[in-house]
Each structure stands twice: as structure tokens, then as C-alpha cells.
Structure 1
Amino acid sequence: MQTHHSINYVEMAACDLEANKRFFEQAFGWSFEDFGPDYTAFKNSGLEGGFFRADFTSRPQNGAALVVLYSDNLEASLDTVRLYGGSIEQEIFEFPGGRRFHFLDPCGNEWAVWSKLATE
């Protein structure tokens, strides 16, 4: 369902669509629907969106928005990202209200994964 003036869809660059599809399928359980050779839409991600073929990357230090995923088990998510070919850009660190890490997908786009602080 679309809501007036809400964020509805996100598109990101990917130099290798097949590599990114494999990574996000394996690491996060996303599925994909291809629309020609240069575009694939992702599903089961919490937000609708897609990857378009391009030779540039999305990095916050270049002014791009940072897409942040949520995890119930941050350490397991970090291990999974490494296992399936993501590279860790920033190890787990604390911030007010939680902890997170940053990683690069196979195409060099930067993402983050966060979780809440453990309550005592």
C-alpha cells in the first residue's frame, strides 16, 4: 500500500547485478525480480527497491544516503556478511540507543546493520 508523501522505493547502483543478487539472497534472504539485463527489483527486504547497473557506488562520504538494516543478532549478521563476500567497513560500535557495523556489498556500496543495546 502506498502512503501519500512516504518513502516508497529505493534504487541503488550495482556494477555487477548477479554478484549483488547472490550476496543479498545468501546473506539476508532477499529475493529478486529482473526487469531486463540492467535492472533487478529486490523483495523481502523491508522496503521495496532495486539495483540498476552502473559503474559508480553509493557511499555516505560521497553524499549518498546510508541504508541501514536491522538485526536481532548483530554478531551473527556480521559473520554472515563476511561469509558471503561483503567487506566490513566499520566493525561493531555503540551509538546512543544501539550498536551497528558498516559493510560494503560486492559492488562497493556502503550499508549498515544495527541492533538495540541489550537490556539488563
Structure 2
Amino acid sequence: MHQHHKINYIEMPSKDLNKSKVFFSMVFGWTFTDYGPAYCAFSNEGINGGFYLADLSISSHTGAPLIVLYSSNLEASQAAVLAAGGSILKPIFSFPGGRRFQFSDPNGSEYAVWSE
């Protein structure tokens, strides 16, 4: 159910939609629906969203929001990111409330994964 004034959907740039779909499918088990050659959507992943074709990437260093995913096994998630062609930007570190790591996907966009 949609909730009034709550974050409902997120769209992220992708230099190569196929790379994004393969990476997020392999690492996090996401599935996608294609809407033409320049857009694909995902749903039921904590929030619904999509990737749009653009010669851009997201990075917290340029002021973009950091998209953070949850994992019940941080070490396994970090290994899966590497196995699927991602790069670790910040290896697992502790912060108040848990641990996390930051990575870039094969298109150069930055994300993070956290756990208690």
C-alpha cells in the first residue's frame, strides 16, 4: 500500500542496463522488467525503483545519496559483490549500530551494504 509522503520509488542512472541487471541479479537476486531499451524496473526489493540509461554514475563524493542495502551476512555479500564484478570502495568497517562496506557496481555507481 502506498503511504502519503513516504519514499515510494527510486531511479538510478546506468551506463549499461544489461550490466546493472546482471550484477544486481547475481548479487542480490533482483528481477527486472524492461520498459524499452533505456529503462528497466525492479520491485519488492525494500523499495521499488529502476535504472535509466545515462552516461552517469552515482557517488556520495559528488553529493548523490548513498543507497544502502541490508544483509544478514555481510562477508558473503561482500564476496558476492566481488564475484559479480563490483569493486570494494571501503571494506567492512564498524559504525554505531552495526557494520557496513561500500562498493561500486560495474558501471561505477556507489552503494553500501550494512548489517547489525
- TM bracket (short chain): over 0.9
Tell me the TM-score normalized by structure 2. 0.98
Please name the residue that 1:74 is paired with: 74
CA distance in 1, matches of 2:86, 2:44: 19
One-letter amino acid of the structure 1 residue matched with residue 72 of structure 2:
D
Please name the residue that 2:93 is paired with: 93
Structure 1: give runs of 5+ residues left out of the alignment: none
SS at match of 1:31: coil
Does 1:107 find its partner at 2:107? yes
Please say if residues 42 and 50 of structure 1, whose CA atoms lie closer than 8 Å, have aligned partners that are also in contact. Answer: yes
Does 1:62 find its partner at 2:59? no
Q: Percent identity?
A: 56
Please name the residue that 1:51 is paired with: 51
Structure 2: give runs of 5+ residues left out of the alignment: none
CA distance in 1, matches of 2:83, 2:46: 22
CA distance in 2, matches of 1:83, 1:44: 24
Please name the residue that 2:10 is paired with: 10
CA distance in 1, matches of 2:12, 2:60: 13
One-letter amino acid of the structure 2 residue matched with residue 37 of structure 1:
P
Q: Report the alpha carbon displacement of residue 43 of structure 1 after superposing the two structures with TM.
A: 2.4
CA distance in 2, matches of 1:106, 1:76: 18
CA distance in 1, matches of 2:45, 2:2: 16
Which range moved further: 42-51 or 81-90? 42-51
Q: What is the CA deviation profile of residues 71-120 of structure 1, one whole-angstrom value per residue up to 9, with x for unaligned ones?
A: 0010000001101111101000000010000000111110000000xxxx
Q: Report the alpha carbon displacement of residue 19 of structure 1 after superposing the two structures with TM.
A: 0.6
Q: What is the CA deviation profile of residues 25-69 of structure 1, one whole-angstrom value per residue up to 9, with x for unaligned ones?
A: 011000000000000001242110000000011101101000000
CA RMSD of aligned residues (A): 0.6
- Work out the number of aligned pairs and report it: 116
